[in-house]
Chains A and B, each alone.
Chain A
Amino acid sequence: MQSILSITDLNKTFAGGFKALQDINLEIHPGEIFALLGPNGAGKTTLINIICGITNLTSGSVSVGGHHIVNEYRQARSLIGLVPQELTTDAFETVWDTVNFSRGLFGKPNNPPYLKELLQDLSLSDKTHNKLMTLSGGMKRRVMIAKALAHEPRLLFLDEPTAGVDVELRKGMWEQVRELRESGVTIVLTTHYIDEAEEMADRIGIINHGKIILIENKFDLMKKLGTKHVALDLKEPLVNFPESLATYNLKMNGSQLIYTYDSQKEDNGISELFEKLIHAGIQVKDLHTKESSLEEIFVELVRKR
């Protein structure tokens, strides 16, 4: 399968000498949702701006749909839609004018039915002839998405689509992104919310200080790096800790015993633990397991580097 976006040895050094991106290599597969996860200042926006032609790269090469972004910028950029991080709109324009502007700018012939449907899909139909300054933040964000999709791109960048958006709207945004993917658009989104990446992405790339630390299928990432916890609710609190359980590194929390293990290991020791519990005459009332969240994985990773 040919990548829709291919980045090779990309570097960006700003005029002041600041290295914003170092040796970036990344392949995005058609049809996936890829989340670029990293703290503020990691270089996410810089990376997107380079791909879209807003910022010049220092070295390396990038191609979109097989087209080099510098030598074949026309073909490459035609495939890309961008929803930037900042809400920047022309206050006095109407929604209808601004989406038509976007389409025209990309050289596409007028297509009112397509744009009408697009606005409808983004729940903007009743705002079609409103000026942008009269819209709420959430609506403006959707207008920006409509602008980005106005020229029917194959690859959509969403730079922090839910930054500063309340919980309810975030859920709505996630739903919309999934629907977009259904329609065949490949999506690259950036976020510093781990739950967002966890919720939406097929694959996750983690970026910090301008370097991609790791790229992994979401489930593999969770499995590979995830430690699991089993919490055992005991019938009665333990009075004294049996010698036989010493090697398990158990934590006692009231009448709850917590066992932490590595889920990627074949032999996780759970069945042995149960045998020993029975042996020691300890009765278990209930049990739950919990996987570590990306948040924990991320903190772990960033600390390691």
Chain B
Amino acid sequence: MKMRAVKTIYLFEMARTWRTIWQSVASPVISTSLYFVVFGSAIGSRITEIDGISYGSFIVPGLIMLSVLTQSISNASFGIYFPKFTGTIYEVLSAPISYVEIVLGYVGAAASKSFILGVLILATAGLFVPLEIQHPFMMVMFLLLTSVTFSLFGFLIGIWADGFEKLQIIPLLIVTPLTFLGGSFYSIKMLPPLWQKISMVNPVVYLISGFRWSFYGQADVGVDISLAMIAVILITCMLTVRWIFNTGYQLKN
């Protein structure tokens, strides 16, 4: 393992963030604040409590997941797509490093950014509503696992994409709907029984449920099932990455 090479890629990717630091920090903070104004105040005045938690507080874990998921995917997919697009990827491919090192560098950086973003949103939310974190260790674990898993997923999209449309299409058509329908703004238990069943095929439901449990001790599905779900997605992504680098798919002709 060449840690120096991993560190080089990692720092390069992080530096890209510093150059656009205001965009990276301000946009999640502003959009989170907007969610509180719109959902927290407007809807919160009608739905006062879910599972004994005030509506404003209830939506915090879901909001964090929403941003972490979409940002992980867009950061990681762009991070690898861009050098492919400009051609600078030649240097990474010709370096004496394994694919594991390449992935650690790129995905590690994207996941770090998402994690920091999650913490930022949490802090912003704390300005609007009272927060309670019953299981802080599990909260961090969920945040970390989600950041890593979806950064890896984004990395895959970035490799698969051969144009800007493809880069956008999966986040737009699949990920965003799944996150919105994943129980960020409501409890699955509030849905009619049929929709409750349908929701169970949405992996995001498990993520949000588990994450919310780490805050308030309330979950739509068991925490162990939530963790298992993340593990399944993570392992699937890892196997796909391995397959890509072993066959050279979309990378080495």
Contact = CB atoms under 8 A, between A and B. Distances in A.
Nearest to B12: A101
Interface stretch (A78-86, A188-196, A226-234): A78-86
Interface string A140-151: 000000010000
| Interface range on chain B (Cβ under 8 Å from partner) | 20 to 34
B128 interface: no
Nearest to B252: A56
A241 to B, nearest CB: 61
Contact of B94 (A15, A82, A89, A108): A82
Contacts of B9: 105
A107 B2 contact: yes
A102 B5 contact: no
B252 A101 contact: no
Interface stretch (A26-34, A69-77, A112-120, A198-206): A69-77
Q: Is the interface of B mostly helix, strand, loop or mixed?
A: helix
A156 interface: no
A75 to B, nearest CB: 7
A106 interface: yes
A108 B248 CA distance: 26
A88 B253 contact: no
Contacts of A168: none
Contacts of B90: 49, 52, 54, 82, 84, 88
B91 A105 contact: yes
B7 A54 contact: no
Contacts, number: 71
Interface string B57-68: 000000000000
A159 B8 CA distance: 26
B95 A77 contact: yes
A73 B88 contact: no
Contacts of B96: 73-78, 106-107
A146 B178 CA distance: 47
A54 B88 contact: no
Contact of B5 (A14, A53, A89, A106): A106
A90 interface: yes
Contacts of A248: none
Interface string A85-105: 010111010000100011011
A84 B4 contact: no
Interface in A3-53: 14-15, 49, 52-53
Contact of B19 (A15, A75, A77, A92): A92
Contacts of B92: 105
Given A15-B253, A92-B19, A107 B91 contact: no
Given A56-B248, A86-B87, A105 B97 contact: yes
13 contacts: A14-B253, A73-B96, A74-B96, A77-B95, A77-B96, A84-B87, A88-B87, A90-B86, A105-B95, A106-B96, A107-B5, A107-B97, A108-B4
Enumerate the 7 nearest inter-chain pairs by beta-carbon distance, A residue then B residue, closest first: A104-B8, A88-B87, A77-B96, A107-B2, A52-B94, A74-B96, A56-B248
